[in-house]
Amino acid sequence: MSRLGSAEARSLLKALADPLRLQILESLSEGERCVCDLTDGLGLAQSKLSFHLRVLREAGLVTQRTSGRWSYYCLEPEAIEHLACWLMALRQRCEKPAPPCS
């Protein structure tokens, strides 16, 4: 993922808009986690958790690794950094004075 455009930023922000997905990301901020640990830690049914993990994975916010029958997830720091840079650039544009009205 290189510099974010508006469409990519929208995709990431949409994935972050759900409170459960934010909880998942907060859990993953502690490091790679097995889906079974996430299910227990968040108190979610595996099917519901899988849906939210898929959304986060498709947005590029998490990566998945399979070992045996278990799936492990971790944050994708580069995606978070790109979003942070996009937000910073947006903030900097807001600081510019508006052109005078004619």
12-39 confidence digits (pLDDT tens): 999 999 999 999 999 999 999 999 999 9
Answer yes or no: is 40 within a domain.
Answer: yes
Average pLDDT, the chain: 90
Contacts within 8 Å (CB) and 24+ apart, 78-81: 78/1, 79/1, 79/12
What does pTM read for this prediction? 0.83
pLDDT in the model for residue 2 = 54
User: 57: Cβ–Cβ under 8 A, 6 or more apart, which residues?
Assistant: 63, 64, 73
Structural domain includes residue 45: yes
| Cα–Cα dist 61/1, whole Å | 11
Range of the domain at 81: 6-94
The Cα 8–Cα 1 span in angstroms is: 9
Q: Which tokens sit at 50? A: 């899988």
Let me know if residue 1 belongs to a domain.
Answer: no
